[in-house]
Amino acid sequence: MRAFVAAAEARSFKLAGQTLGVSSSAIGKSIARLEAQLAATLFHRTTRTVTLTEEGALYLDRARRVLNELAAAEDELAHATSEPRGRLRVSLPLSGAVLTSVMASFLARYPAIELDLDYSDRLVDIVDEGFDVVIRSGEPSDSRLIHRRLLSFPWRLLAAPGYLERNGVPRTVADLTRHVCLRQKLSTGRLSPWPLRDAGEAEMPASLTANIIDPLIEMALAGAGIAALPDFLVRGHIASGALVTALEQETERTGTLNILWTANRFRTPKVRAFVDFLHEWSRNDMAPEQRREPHQLEPSS
């Protein structure tokens, strides 16, 4: 069943084998035995790809739930142990450079935990997809989940001082039409909105788009243009003066970063340890009193 789910998610016996640490032929044999047991064909196979049959798609939902229940049972048995251990599956937002360093610190503190990180900006189903914990920006909307707010943060328009010196500091939102705007494209294909009070005043260009924020940060640091960025991801660059704000008086959007989990998952030591670690990080390393006021250049005359 694990081989089947891995192959269904990867659409490949080879990738499924790499995930589970076995050969692709072992995956194929396991699935063949499962199909014989079920008297059903679960995959359409070609030389290049495997795709689920209608029966396979039906079985996948049930198989995921069974494996999740088995994992939960194993976690409950491990509850009596003092050391958090086992596989922890976490879904993180695509803008995860800061969070990635936090994951490294968590792993150093809890070496018996195996972190399985999945980066995505889509709305994952924490129950059906088998995640232990989800970290997302925005207000939680799934009533099945418990959540804890890690951060509230402003979005800022930021650029390197050199870029603004060469191209001028925008005085109004309309001035952005004459600037290089570095934009994030969401998985829906839409551009992420900028944090402006009156965004209707100008049709902001999308001089460069990327589906994750990290390249936008690097492009802004390199002096390529202006980007709308979450404050907590670039706080060090703001404090050093490598990035300065533009149109601070015109920005108003505030974001939140939340950690979410199901009630039954929190009973396991590994999830409790992870939630508590992230809460500690948000209260200490990201404490408001450690923030500095951003550098801001005066508009050019």
pLDDT digits (tens, 9 = 90+) for 125-173: 777 777 889 998 877 766 677 888 988 888 999 999 999 999 999 988 8
Last residue of a domain, one of 80, 102, 124: 80
Model's pTM, two decimal places? 0.63
**How high is the pLDDT of residue 121?**
75
**How high is the pLDDT of residue 27?**
92
Find where tokens 């939630």 sit: 275
**Half-sphere CA count of 96, side-chain side, radius 13 A:** 18
Region 255-279: what's the mean pLDDT? 85
Last residue of a domain, one of 255, 276, 293: 255
> Considering the chain, what is the average pLDDT of its residues?
84
Residue 93 lies in a domain: no
* % of the chain beyond a pLDDT of 70: 86
Phi, psi for 131 (deg, rounded to 5): -80, 145
CATH value at residue 37:
1.10.10.10
Asked if 249 contacts 301 with a C-beta cutoff of 8 angstroms, the reply is no
Domain that holds residue 220: 152-255
Q: Which residue has the higher pLDDT, 266 or 292?
A: 266
Q: Domain total for the chain? A: 2
Task: Kindly state whether residues 72 and 164 are assigned to the same domain.
Answer: no
Band (35; pLDDT cuts 50, 70, 90): very high
Last residue of a domain, one of 255, 278, 294: 255
**How high is the pLDDT of residue 29?**
92
Residue 297 lies in a domain: no
Region 75-81: what's the mean pLDDT? 61
Band (4; pLDDT cuts 50, 70, 90): very high
The C-alpha angle 105, 110, 115, rounded to 5 degrees, equals 75
CATH value at residue 243:
3.40.190.10
Give the pLDDT confidence of 217-259 residue by residue, as tens digits. 999 999 999 999 988 889 889 999 999 999 988 888 788 889 9
